[in-house]
Amino acid sequence: MSHGGGGGRAKVTPNLAVDGEGTRTLNLTVLQRLDHAVEDILITAAHVTLYDFDTDINQWSRKDVEGSLFVVKRNAQPRFQFIVMNRRNTDNLVEDLLGDFEYQLQAPYIMYRNAAQEVIGIWFYNSQECQQVANLFSRILNAFSKVAPKPKIPSVQSEFEELEAAPSLVDGPLEAQTSNIMSTTTHVQEDPLSAFFSNDEFVDLVYREIMNRQ
């Protein structure tokens, strides 16, 4: 997992319904200021909050990260990432979608394990956006994996104590919500033909197929 630098205070306008072309262009411009390799925004979730899972005590704790989530296509490696423009501080969250990345969906949550072997939960204010982001993850990972996925994340038997019933765009009392974590996982394995899969023509083909389905 990596974090953006001091440019994290840049303002990004989230799409509360369907992202209009003007808003999308503005968001893309801001993201490109932070990362010149960003080419396009594939999907946006207006508001998410992130949680860390401590495997030693089987407990979730809230990270100091919340804001709008963007899945982006880049013109350099790694080719696909998701970025959370953090409204709590200057450190944006950036995760690579290819390589050692695996996830599972339990709306309104997506739980994932990254290359650093961190287990992180994403809570989506909008459950429909959660499903749409998970579907996009699946399309990207499946396109870059010729091997049928096999579960790698062990079942986590603890409870996910959700601390929010409303987005913390408005500060105030928050109602608790509990959800059990399922053991079903979706992930991508390392493909030996990585050179082929990093080829621009292949990436562009995947990108066109993704955009045609939206």
Closest-CA residue to 51 (of 120, 110, 112):
120
Residue with tokens 């205070």: 9
C-alpha 72/C-alpha 150 separation (Å) is 26
Task: With CA atoms as reference, report the closest residue to 14 among 45, 49, 60.
Answer: 45
The CATH number covering residue 87 comes to 2.30.29.30
Digit-by-digit pLDDT tens for the chain (214 residues) are 666 554 555 665 554 545 478 899 999 999 999 999 999 999 999 999 999 999 889 999 999 999 999 999 999 999 999 999 999 999 999 999 988 899 999 999 999 999 999 999 999 999 999 999 999 999 999 988 754 444 445 445 445 544 544 444 433 332 333 333 333 333 434 443 444 445 666 666 666 766 666 5
Predicted model pTM: 0.68
Domain count of the fold of the chain = 1
Residue 72 CA to chain centroid, in angstroms? 10
| Domain containing residue 20 | 2-213
Task: Note the helical H segments in 14-70.
Answer: 21-34
Look at phi and psi of residue 111 and say left if phi exceeds 0, alpha if psi is from -120 to 50, else beta: beta
